[in-house]
Amino acid sequence: MTMEMLVASAIAVLTAAGVYLVLRARTFPVVLGLAFLSYAINLFLFAMGRLVINRPPIYDKAAEGYTDPLPQALVLTAIVIAFGMTAFVVVLALRTFLETGADHVDGREDAETGS
């Protein structure tokens, strides 16, 4: 199995798990699903950058090639934004639980039974 297939499979598994968990009725799996989706996006951005080893991060005419620093900067920014959004969603879910007394996404206890 090639490395590209392994990275693509990891992105697919993280995306599938994230979408599955986002569609759950309770808030904690939704928060985990959003985290999995952000991990999948970060891995996708990092894989699109084509990591080059032992190359300078800036272009130099004397060097044969260079490493593109943009995908690494995007992933670092995405990690910070995902952390902030996860903290916000956790606080929002906790506040909703304290207000409604239920940890369902729509606030109703009978959401799982369908009645």
User: CB neighbours (10 Å) of residue 21?
Assistant: 19
Q: How far apart are CA 109 and CA 40, in angstroms?
A: 31
Q: Give the pLDDT band of residue 110 (cuts 50, 70, 90).
A: low
pLDDT tens-place string over residues 7-45: 899 999 999 999 999 999 888 999 999 999 999 999 998
Mean local confidence (pLDDT), 101-107: 79
Fold classification of 3-111 is Helix Hairpins (1.10.287)
Q: Where are the domains of the chain?
A: 3-111
Nearest to 17 by CA among 1, 29, 3: 29
Distance (Å, rounded) from C-alpha 96 to C-alpha 102?
8
Residue 47 has pLDDT above 60, yes or no: yes
